[in-house]
Structures are given as C-alpha cells and as structure tokens.
Structure 1
Amino acid sequence: MISSLLYVPGNAPRFLEKAGQRGADVVIVDLEDAVPETAKTEAREGLAKWVPAIRQSGCQVFVRVNQSERLVDDAVAATIAGADGLYIPKVDSADILARLAESLLPHERDRAPIGFVPLIEDMKGLFEVRAIAHGPRVFALTSGGEDLATAMGAKPTPEVLRYPKLMIHYAAKEAGVLSFGMLRTTVDFADKEALRAAALEARDFGFDGATCIHPSVVPILNECFAPTPEELSWARKVVAAGEQEAAAGRGAFMLDGRFVDAPIVTRAQNLLARFEKGGVTS
C-alpha cells in the first residue's frame, strides 16, 4: 500500500536527512526539476549515501531521474544505491522503458530488477499511455500536472487537468498497476482543505495514493487514502454476509437496508485485502 509519496530535492542534505522521518510511504529523491543543472551530477553521486540512509527509516525510496542524456547514468546510480523504484519523467513511449531496462540489467546481478513509474507529461505520452502502462517493469503510473498543462498551452486548473489525469488513471487500472495522483496540481500545498477534498475525491475515483512536495501534506494523504473504521467494519459485514448468502444459493441480498450483490462483495473483499493484515478469505 502506497498512499503518500514525498518529493525531496536530491541536492538538499537538510531535507534528505529528515526525509525518512516524515511519515511518507515513499520518499522520492528528485534529480530532475528540483535540482539545477549545475548540481545534478553531485546530486546523483549523493544517491549512494542518501538512498540507504532513508530506507533505514522503513519507507521505500524512489528516484526521479532526468529524461535527457543523464537518464541512464541517473538510473544506474539509483539502482546501485538500492532504490526501490524509478520515477521516469516525460515518458512518451514504451520503447524508452524497454531500452532503459536493458541498460540496467548488467547492474542488477545482486538485486531484484528495479521497477518503473512513468510520468505522463505531454500529449504524445497521453495518447500512448495504454502501451506505456503495459511496458516493461511498470508497477505504477502517474502524471505531471504542470507539464501537461504547459504542453497544452493551458493553465493547470483542476478543470483542465481532470480529463488527461483520468485518461492516465484509467490506463493504469486497465493494466493492473497502481495509479498515483489527484485531479489537480500538487504545487499549491497551502490550501490544506482543498488538498484534503482533492485527496478524498481521488480515492473515490480509485487512485491508490498521491505525491506531495511538502511534508505537511503527508498526514493528509495518509488519512484520506485510507478507509475509515466505519468503512472497514461495513466491508467485514458485507464479506461475512456474502459468504452466508452464497452458501444459501443467493447472489444478491439486503443488508442493513442496503442492496448488496457480487460487485459490492468483491469491492469489500478488495478493501479488506488491501488494508487489513492478513487480508480476507472467501
């Protein structure tokens, strides 16, 4: 389960030192937009220190690499440092992922292959997103809201970003991979109530979690992408009743005045399997 992913600049030791203590499920060490060109090589070299140091806190560590001539060197450094995944910006075809995976193989003899999270950030990537979602090593998809808006010549308002973000989300769900994001940009983190509403909306749409650029947002994401105790209690009741009704030969039934059928039972089972230790039996 990944509800919160916190971006941390790869050239900022004072942030990196505390990154693993912020409560995020994943820390994304950013080598791309958060790091000026003059500091990118030094930030890459710092992965050998910071990736294992942050992982010791118990969270996962992803690295956002540069989509440029730096791509392979960044990815190799992250792989050798022990990162759990790569955030790969500006992916516009699955071929990029295939070539990168091949480049990393010689550096993975002592570890499992590193997974990929493609960021869809332009129109070509948006219309290739289904193929990208089925690309090698992809375990999640996400978008770059600011970049998408720029590529469209638009402002990054929730209305502008809603449809392209949903296209990316639907591609992730069709491919059976995780989907990270909210139906708005993550840059404006000052309005906490708006962020909370956006996170709850994203969860209702089936997003698995979201990124943030400030640690104050982490608790909001952790709370909003997790079910409430009432939701878990209802799911347990639905699963138990579903087993009883199925044994009696009934596929649909009423429970506490609410209609329940197979899709609702399956949704309850999925909720418990994801959020309760040990999952469920059926």
Structure 2
Amino acid sequence: MKLRSQLYVPAHVARFIDKAHQRGADAIILDLEDSVPAASKLSARQSLADSVRKTGQSGAAIFVRINSEPDLQLDDAAVACQAGACGIVVPKVQSVEGLDRLVAHLAPLEHDLGRNPLPFICLIEDPATVFDARALAAHPRVLGMALGSEDFATMMGAEPSPDVLRLPKLLVHMAAKAHGKLSFGLLRSIADYADSGAMQTATIEAKTFGFDGATCIHPSAIPFLNTGFSPTEAECDWARRLIAGADKAATENRGAFAFEGRMVDAPVLSRARAILAKAGRDGENG
C-alpha cells in the first residue's frame, strides 16, 4: 500500500468528497473529527458508505479518522468498517488498552463481514504518550504512526514551529521504525500549506530521515509529497550500480567491497535493495 500522500477531507462537505478522487493522493482520510462541527458529526458518519465509494473510485486507499470521544469512537469505527474503509486513523491515542477496546468492538463485525482486520494509524497528540510510543507501535493492529502537531503544541503551551516539533516527531518516528511500522509526517506543521517551498524542503528532509509519507490538508501538496517520498532516478541508478558491484564481489568471495570511493557492506546493500523495492511499489498504478 502506497501512503506517500494522505489528503484529509472533511466527511461532511460534499463538494470536497466529490472531487477528492481526482487529486492524485495515495490515500484519502475521511475526517469525522476536528474538521467536522458537532452538529454534523452524525450525518457525516451516516454518509460514510457513499463517501468511501466516491473517494475511492480512482484507487486511493480510504481511511477514516474517527473521533476520540468514547461516546462517538466505537460507532465511528463500526460504520467505517461496514462502509469498506481500508483502515482507521485513531486520534489522541493514549494507551494500548484503548486500541484493544477498538479491536474488541471491531473484530465481530469484521468476522461477520468476512473482511480483513482494519489496520490503525495512530496519532500521538500529547507529551506523555510520546514516551509510550514504542508500546503503541508494537500493537499488532498498528500500521503506522504520526505526531499530531497542532494538538501536541497546544498541550505544550507552545507554537507548532519546526524547532518545537522536531524532537517529538523524531521520537515517534523512531518508535514506529523500532517495530517495523510506517512513520508519517514532516518535521514541521502542515497547517501552513501555502508556503510550498518550505513544504517541499520539509518533504525532502523527512525522506532523508526515513519517513514514509505525510498527510496534507490541501491538494496542492500532493504532487510534491508523491515525488518527494519516492526514490529519485539518481537514487535508483546508484542502487542498480551498487547491486551490480555486489554481485561481482560475491563471485570473488568478498563480503565488503569498494564502490565509488567508499566501502560497502551488507547494510548499504540492503538500503540499495530497499530503494529499488520502493521504486517498484511507487511505480504501480502510477
């Protein structure tokens, strides 16, 4: 599943839902939480079956961001499951027990529908949970993790500047990677999407750190997220040449070898293979 770009779409706004499939995002996140006013939350939930169908018609993976309030969360998740969503974005995650509660509610529905278990993307949005991120990342339902920049900064009494967000985002990122899960985000807030130059620079930086993709709130960000989180042709060329060198070294019974002025051993070779594997996945269906 490609998740380089994930476009948030308010699940109560028909004109956004109708056009979302045309935007080219790898994933659409139908939002039932922050972007939906309280008076519209029930109708947005009730419309999910139609919204999932419309937004997914061009092949994007469709996730639903459910509400964090206990009296809304379980019903949101159940309807998302029944509507055919690919997965659930769980906001303000605080504990493994909270994820288990969701699983216990969804498992009978998934069984009755004959569908695979819904994966979760966890949003960590408070300082305490940053330090518990490894336990959350270890949960079998968790596909990926991200820091919720705006809520996190608010709880810190801080501004969501790159300097404020950098450390907590990297801590969540490392927790995800420690358990082989995906990690999403830029080392800055996505709220100031109009600064396209800064957003593109942040995308390149995030890719360098090993992030797998990022969310966006405006479709203008989608092209540079898709490009920025994909291997470049120069990277693919380097990987192909390095692997060819490794094959030659193997015929000479050498585990390490010199390549373009540096020593290469197993970790570097693994990185080259991962680049080509990712390029293959990103090339599927455009």
TM-score, length of structure 1 as denominator length: 0.96
Asked if the contact 2:243–2:272 (Cα under 8 Å) also holds between the matched residues in 1, the reply is: yes
Deviation at 1:278, TM superposition (A): 11
How far off its partner does 1:256 sit?
3.1
1:181-220 equivalence runs, <5 A = 181-220=185-224
Counterpart code for 1:37: A
Q: Secondary structure at the match of 1:7?
A: strand
Q: 1:38 to 1:278 in 2, by over 3 A?
A: closer
Q: Measure how far apart 1:271 and its partner are.
A: 1.0
Q: Runs of 5+ in structure 1 lacking a partner?
A: none
- Secondary structure class of the residue paired with 1:276: helix
Q: 68, 71, 74: which one pairs with 2:73?
A: 71
Aligned residue type for 2:129 = G
Alignment identity in percent? 50
Give the structure 2 partner of residue 89 of structure 1: 91
Structure 2 residue ranges without an equivalent (≥5) = none
**Aligned position for 1:22:** 23
Taking the aligned partners of 1:129 and 1:115, their CA distance within structure 2 comes to: 17
Deviates more, 1:114-123 or 1:252-261: 252-261
Q: Measure the CA separation in 2 of the matches of 1:149 and 1:173.
A: 23
Asked if the contact 1:90/1:122 (under 8 Å) is kept, the reply is: yes
- The answer on whether the counterparts of 2:230 and 2:278 sit within 8 Å (CA) in structure 1 is no
What is the root-mean-square deviation in Å for CA atoms of aligned residues?
1.4
**DSSP 3-state at the match of 2:236:** helix
- 1:216-259 CA distances to partner (integer Å, 9 max, x unpaired)? 00001011111111110110111121122123121222223343
Contact 2:94 2:124 in 1 (8 A): yes
Q: Deviations over 1:126-180 (max 9, x none)?
A: 1111101112310111110011111111110000000000000000000101001
Matched residues, number: 279
- Mapped to 2, the partners of 1:219 and 1:277 lie a distance apart of 17
SS of 1:108's partner is: helix
CA distance in 1, matches of 2:216, 2:209: 18
Given candidates 99, 102, 106, the residue that maps to 1:100 is: 102
Q: Distance in 1 between matches of 2:268 and 2:83?
A: 43
Q: Measure, in 2, the Cα distance between the counterparts of 1:246 and 1:120.
A: 45
Question: Pairwise mapping of residues 107-126 of structure 1 onto structure 2 (< 5 A)?
Answer: 107-109=109-111, 110-126=114-130
CA contact (8 A) 1:101 1:136 kept: no
Q: Distance in 1 between matches of 2:259 and 2:102?
A: 51
Does 2:49 match 1:48? yes
Specify whether residues 108 and 222 from structure 1 end up closer, same or farther in structure 2 by C-alpha distance, changes over 3 A only.
Answer: same
> What is the rounded CA distance, in whole Å, between the counterparts of 2:280 and 2:11 in structure 1?
34
